[in-house]
Amino acid sequence: MRLTTKGRYAVTAMLDLALHSDEGPVSLADISTRQGISLSYLEQLFARLRHFKLVKSVRGPGGGYRLMSSTADISIAQVVDAVSESLDATRCEGKGNCHEGEVCLTHHLWEDLSAQIHQFLSDITLADLVARNDIQSVRARQDLRVVTMQKDESHIAVSEIL
Amino acid sequence: MRLTTKGRYAVTAMLDLALHSDEGPVSLADISTRQGISLSYLEQLFARLRHFKLVKSVRGPGGGYRLMSSTADISIAQVVDAVSESLDATRCEGKGNCHEGEVCLTHHLWEDLSAQIHQFLSDITLADLVARNDIQSVRARQDLRVVTMQKDESHIAVSEIL
DNA sequence: CCAATTCCGAGTATTTTACTCAAGTATTCA
DNA sequence: TGAATACTTGAGTAAAATACTCGGAATTGG
Ligand code: FES
Ligand code: FES
């Protein structure tokens, strides 16, 4: 089972994209600022997301990324699959040969678990997440903070906008 | 989410123990031979399993390990929990602080996933696995192979017992 | 042109994993 | 009793994976 920072970042970034998709293309720099993910790392992740046709890029100034399909048509499983090798829980990666070339005692158990996890994440779409209250409240906090930071960079005292 | 070789080995070893529990205490050396897991590594794993009261040890010649409870009372989740830190899928380890000390966008999603995985593995007991056909057939193959190896060590030609 | 932005390939420090090794301690059988 | 068996403990380590960084090329709007 491979669910690492990479997969989590990818989902976070895609969700950020979904949340801001009505404002035109979203640049990786924006996502980087809002979500605290390194820009270079995001570039790596989006290369794969683009390869898997989950996003499309718009180059040049004012460019960024857009979702390729509607938020209701992109599942979390797709996103994780795109960046992680797979979210297979077996040791043999499905080949059934991890103990002296033969199937090990627990192979079928891990297969079942993998199927379970995949099903769960396939049933959740970006649209589902966007609709959740807990996520909207996190979003609100983050947007506020980013605005604050931008103002701050323009040498306007934080107190003025609070 | 932390499901590594460690957790898989632990489940494999516990299942091996369950399969041979009617033959008195099972030594780690036996499990090592049958399942192809390093003896020293098994020692590490069983130290934790014992600590979590899933097995008890019988010292001295002819000793080994026994299950602490009936196979129907030991779930896979318990075994994995004992050796892995946890099978939590969040990045913050449940603390909700992975982005600048605050909850990140996807925290709740990973919490849900963790609960799902935990539930799935909690519902499966060693007894369930022992009863499965696929596992019995793997067992049969392994037992045969071990007998063959033992005879071989006693300098009896393999052909004699085939 | 120039600046913003994506695109691409290598390179690398850190962490984790999956072990090994060595020196114990406890128990039992003969 | 004492030797053999087996568990117990703690430290150490090589290899792999992770989570990045870096430098620069390509693209495009203004
Ligand atoms: S996990 Fe597939 S053979 Fe062991
Ligand atoms: S995963 Fe818990 S706060 Fe990000």
Residue B100 CA to ligand 2 centre (angstroms): 10
**Nearest alpha carbon to residue B50 among B22, B23, B25, B19:** B25
pTM attached to this predicted model = 0.86
The more confident residue out of B135 and A2 is B135
Spell out a b/e string for A73-85, using b for 16 or more CB atoms within 10 Å of the CB, else e: ebbbbbbbbbbbe
Q: Cβ(B107) to ligand 2 under 6 A?
A: yes
pLDDT at A147 over 80: no
B43 contacts A112 by C-beta, under 8 angstroms: no
Average per-residue pLDDT for chain A: 87
Strand partners, A64: A58
Q: Is B108 on the interface with A (CB under 8 A)?
A: yes
Q: What is the pLDDT along chain B (162 residues), one digit of tens a residue?
A: 578 889 999 999 999 999 998 888 999 999 998 999 999 999 999 999 998 999 999 888 888 899 999 999 999 999 998 887 667 788 888 888 888 888 999 999 999 999 999 999 999 999 999 999 999 999 998 877 655 554 444 433 333 333
* Mutate which: A80, A103, A106, vs B, most B CBs within 10 A: A106
pLDDT at A8 over 70: yes
The position carrying tokens 């678990």 is A113
* Mutate which: A109, A134, A146, vs B, most B CBs within 10 A: A109
B91–A5: do the CB atoms touch at under 8 Å? yes
Distances (CA, A) of B124 to A110, B32, B72, B153: 12, 24, 9, 38
Structure tokens at B39: 């003896």
**Interval A62-75: pLDDT, tens:** 999 999 999 999 99
Fold (CATH) for A5-131:
Arc Repressor Mutant, subunit A (1.10.10)
pLDDT score recorded for residue A128: 97
Q: What is the C-alpha separation between A35 and A23, in angstroms, rounded?
A: 17
pLDDT score recorded for residue A149: 52
Q: Cβ(B92) to ligand 2 under 6 A?
A: yes
A105–B35: do the CB atoms touch at under 8 Å? yes
Strand pairing report for A64-67 and B55-58: unpaired
Q: Cβ(B103) to ligand 2 under 6 A?
A: yes
Through-space separation of residue A27 CA and nucleotide C21 C1' in angstroms: 53
Instruction: Using pLDDT thresholds of 50, 70 and 90, give the confidence band for residue A93.
Output: confident
Spell out a b/e string for A129-143, using b for 16 or more CB atoms within 10 Å of the CB, else e: bbeeeebeebbeebe
